[in-house]
Amino acid sequence: MSSNAAKVALVTGSSRGIGRAAALRLARDGYDVVVHYRRSPDLARETAAAVEALGRRAWVVEADLEDPAAVDRLAGAVREGPGQVDVLVLAAAATAFKTALEVRAHHWERTYRVVVGALYQLVERLVPLMPAGSAIICISGTGSDRVIPRYSLLGAAKAAQEALVRYLAVELAPLGIRVNGISPGIIRTDSLVYYAGEAEAALTEEARRLSPAGRLGRPEDIAGVVAFLASDDADFIRGQIIVADGGITLGMPGLYPGPF
Ligand SMILES: NC(=O)c1ccc[n+]([C@@H]2O[C@H](COP(=O)([O-])OP(=O)(O)OC[C@H]3O[C@@H](n4cnc5c(N)ncnc54)[C@H](OP(=O)(O)O)[C@@H]3O)[C@@H](O)[C@H]2O)c1
């Protein structure tokens, strides 16, 4: 893309982690970026400064995606700011890491609002700002189809999000909007450190041992897939969830890598 193309990306949850890496990668590819955050204004401003250092424009918008009124404000800020969205990346997520028996109504309400509700709402509000050739990319996760300890809430919400990716891919196709998702494996971010707690070193070692890639993922690994799905090269990929996990889910537990 030429540096004058002035295409615009909105990346939810781009103050940190995978969202931040996606924002910076898209800026490097020539997009102006709306940086969205919830609780980390300083980090969001850092992301925006890094976008601007790459020669692109940046807007910083706060919105708690649990709150439909805040989602509306985010959409309004995009309309009043760049006025257009060429790539919408849904990276923000929040949950309570609990077993299914421990989950209470307020837990699932909050998680589903962020992961599923905000997607419906942003699609409704932003599709009118998305020209033909635009892309929507959802960051899902392995927990949608594999069982991860204390992950039922986010796993089930991500499964719902993946189903919605397929519906949107069909329903938005007449508008020229492509919709896909990415299922990252274990990526080193703040969330991972929080989830793993004291087991972080052991988890890192297990990922090294069990993954054909021989390492944990980096946010940039996922940002590269975002860039591809955003590009015209991905025009024939519709409604798919691209697994980017270093191959760690390929193995048969107990048999791979095994002492053979
Ligand atoms: N890391 C992994 O191993 C992994 C694996 C599979 C899938 N994923 C998925 O990848 C995505 C990014 O994860 P990450 O590990 O990069 O997370 P992270 O580093 O913890 O960042 C989370 C981002 O989401 C934002 N956020 C959290 N709750 C929010 C809310 N209620 N409203 C609006 N924004 C909110 C945060 O904003 P503030 O900074 O302002 O709080 C932050 O920008 C998530 O969808 C996650 O489920 C991650």
Domain ranges in the chain? 7-244
109-145, pLDDT tens digit by residue?
A: 999 999 999 999 999 999 999 999 999 999 999 999 9
Ligand 1 in contact with 144 (CB < 6 A)? no
Determine phi and psi for 211, rounding to 5 degrees.
Answer: -95, 130
**Residue range 194-219: average pLDDT?**
92
Q: What is the DSSP string of 23-80?
A: HHHHHHTTEEEEEEESS-HHHHHHHHHHHHHTT--EEEEE--TTSHHHHHHHHHHHHH
5: confidence class by pLDDT, cuts 50, 70, 90: low
pLDDT of 3 > 50? The answer is no
Ligand 1 in contact with 64 (CB < 6 A)? yes
Ligand 1 in contact with 115 (CB < 6 A)? no
Nearest atom of ligand 1 to the alpha carbon of 154: 47
Which amino acid residue places its CA nearest to atom 11 of ligand 1? Answer: 91
Greater pLDDT, 257 or 171: 171
pLDDT, residue 159, reads: 98
Mean pLDDT score across all residues of the chain: 96
Task: Please provide the distance, in angstroms rounded to a whole number, between the alpha carbons at the two ends of the chain.
Answer: 48
What is the Cα–Cα distance from 48 to 46, expressed in whole angstroms? Answer: 5
Nearest atom of ligand 1 to the alpha carbon of 13: 43
Ligand 1 in contact with 38 (CB < 6 A)? yes
Q: How is residue 84 annotated by DSSP?
A: -
Establish whether the linkage from the previous residue to 259 is cis, with ω within 30° of 0: no
State the pTM of this model.
0.97
pLDDT, residue 257, reads: 83
Kindly report the CATH number that applies to the domain delimited by 7-244.
3.40.50.720
